[in-house]
Chains A and B, each alone.
With several copies, the nearest count.
Chain A
Amino acid sequence: MVFEVKIENFEGPLDLLLKLTEEQKLDITQISLAKVTDNFLKHIEILENSLVNLSEFLDIASKLIVIKSKVLLPQLELTKEEQEEIDNLEARLKEYQLFKEAAKELKVLAEREERGFGRKTKVRPEISIFDPPANVNYKFLFELFKKVIDEMPEEKKYPEAKIKKAVSIGEKISEIKLALQKYKTLDFGYLLKKAKARIEIIVSFLAILELLKAKFLEVEQSANFSEIILKII
């Protein structure tokens, strides 16, 4: 007898067994299983080195051999266990066939190139409902706030060179102008505190002189060493 063995990828021993019976256009019965047993064994022999699930193939092979023996020698006495095993194999193969058919139908659906898309925008409407946390009072929040401040990451000290990129007088002038337009008055001390480097203090000073000259602001100091106040004119 000549075996024509096509090397294919099988999903497993049941897949191979199903293909073999279907190739022969056989229904799944113990007799048909007996018929494909030799072919099944031949496949294992050929594929041995490439089979990932060799032990599963061998397990099915042993059951097929029992089936074949029983078909060839009807007078062969099988133990109850052996009989159950071969009955089970038949049933399992039938069930497997059912799912293979179902898989084909799923494949048809899957190949339609038609699919639905859910919304995945994460854009939520701006609707809020008051829902305060339980057991929270202002003392608790205050303690938490203090703790957070204590644990606050320390300001990184940047190297002097980086800070030295000085503000230009022009920039400072427009900054002070804007601030004055908004607040009408400004403390000179505030400008000093805000300065990131000594050079910025000098620039601020020059900017104020420029604005004085341009009559944009006037300067007030009520007493020696008291706060100098800039006022918009």
Chain B
Amino acid sequence: MNEDLKNIIESILFVAEKPVSIKELSKLTNSLTINVQKALLELTDDYKERGLRVIRKGDFFQIITAPEAAKYIGRFLNQELKAQLGDAALETLAIITYKQPITRMAIEKIRGVSSDTILRTLQIKGLISEVERLDAPGKPILYGTTFEFLQYLGVESLDELPKLEKEKEDKIKQAFKF
């Protein structure tokens, strides 16, 4: 039975061609979210040794090709493997990765320079997107990384990225009151 749920979820993710949330999957399959979660974990595990991967951001899941196959897929789809990113873009991307969701103002405060153009570039490349609005005057946009970003780096989830040095981070929080 659990096997069935896993299979149904696999087929939905295949057809969806975009990230699908646990909530949506549990509604579609009339299953408890806990069972959906379990099935997704198993599926992620099953895929480890295969040509496909299950990637996750927050409560959303998607099936993509394994990074090892990138060369062949690029050839097949006649698609460039990676767009080169400049230092400024990588720096901004790093800030968004570890501080998401984050406003443009907060990014600029960290970088010390205006970051309008870079944010637009990253958005066009699909690596970041507006995830929500901050509940503050002017309702500023909050940016976050996308599934495209995980695909771009060839990682399964943000957890796979190296951690910001925790110790340093804590020290900064103490010294630098937001």
Residues of A within 8 A of B (CB): 11-15, 52-53, 56, 60, 87-88, 90-92, 94-96, 98-107, 109-134, 136-139, 141-142, 144-146, 148-150, 152-153, 155, 182, 193-194
Q: Please indicate the chain A residues that have their CB under 8 angstroms from the CB of B120 in the complex.
A: 124
A100 nearest CB neighbor, chain B only: B91
The distance in angstroms between the C-alpha atoms of A90 and B171, with both chains bound, is 12
**Contact, CB under 8 Å: A144 / B67:** no
CA distance A134 to B64 in the complex (A): 33
Q: Is the CB of B75 within 8 A of A129?
A: yes
A120, A144, A155 pick with most chain B CB within 10 angstroms: A144
- Residues from chain A with a CB closer than 8 A to the CB of B75 are 129
Q: Size range of the interface on B? A: 35 or more
Contact among B95, B154, B155, B174 for A155, CB-based, below 8 A: B174
Indicate if the CB atoms of B124 and A98 lie closer than 8 Å.
no
A182 contact set on B, CB distance < 8 A? 135
Q: Which residues of A lie under 8 Å from residue B89 when comparing CB positions? A: 133
Q: Is the beta-carbon distance between A144 and B90 smaller than 8 angstroms?
A: yes
Q: Are A99 and B67 in contact (CB under 8 A)?
A: no
- Which 8 pairs of residues, A with B, have the shortest CB-CB distance? A12-B113, A91-B176, A130-B126, A116-B64, A114-B67, A91-B175, A14-B112, A102-B94
Contact A152 B175 (CB under 8 A): yes
Decide yes or no whether B168 CB sits under 8 A from chain A: yes
Smallest beta-carbon distance A55→chain B, Å: 10
> Contacts A53-B113, A133-B84: A88 and B15 contacting too (C-beta < 8 A)?
no
A-B contact pairs, 29 of them (CB 8 A): A53-B113, A92-B112, A98-B169, A99-B98, A102-B94, A102-B98, A105-B162, A106-B97, A107-B85, A109-B153, A114-B67, A114-B154, A115-B70, A115-B153, A116-B67, A120-B15, A128-B126, A130-B152, A131-B78, A132-B125, A133-B85, A133-B89, A133-B90, A134-B84, A138-B161, A138-B162, A145-B97, A148-B111, A152-B171
Which residues in chain B, 69-123, are within 8 Å of chain A measured between CB atoms? 70-71, 73-75, 77-79, 81-82, 84-85, 87-91, 93-95, 97-99, 109-114, 120, 123
Q: Is the CB of B112 within 8 A of A99?
A: no
In the complex, A182 Cα to B147 Cα: how many Å? 27
A176 to chain B, nearest CB (A): 14
B114:A53 contact, CB within 8 angstroms? yes
B17, CB-defined interface residue at 8 Å? yes
Closest residue on chain B to residue A96 by CB atoms: B110
Question: Are B154 and A115 in touch, CB under 8 angstroms?
Answer: yes
- Write out the residue numbers on chain B whose beta carbons fall within 8 Å of the beta carbon of A91: 172, 175-176
B151 at the interface (CB under 8 A from A): yes
Assembly CA distance A90 to B176 (angstroms): 9
A217 vs chain B, min Cβ distance (A): 19
Q: Which of B17, B94, B98, B154 contacts A118 (CB 8 A)?
A: B17
- Are A117 and B97 in contact, CB atoms less than 8 angstroms apart? no
Q: In the complex, what residues of B have CB within 8 A of residue A149's CB?
A: 110, 164, 168, 171-172
- A103 touching B169, Cβ below 8 Å: no
13 extra A-B contacts, CB within 8 A, seeds A116-B154, A127-B124:
A56-B114, A103-B91, A105-B162, A116-B66, A118-B15, A126-B123, A129-B126, A136-B90, A141-B90, A141-B94, A145-B94, A145-B164, A152-B111
Determine if B9 is an interface residue (Cβ-Cβ < 8 Å): no
Q: A13-B112, A123-B17, A152-B110 are in contact. Are A94 and B171 (CB under 8 A)?
A: yes
Candidates B17, B98, B110, B111; contact of A119 at CB < 8 Å: B17
Q: CA separation between A90 and B174, bound complex, in Å?
A: 12
Taking CB as reference atom, which chain A residue is nearest B130? A126
Q: How far is the CB of B17 from chain A (nearest CB, A)?
A: 4
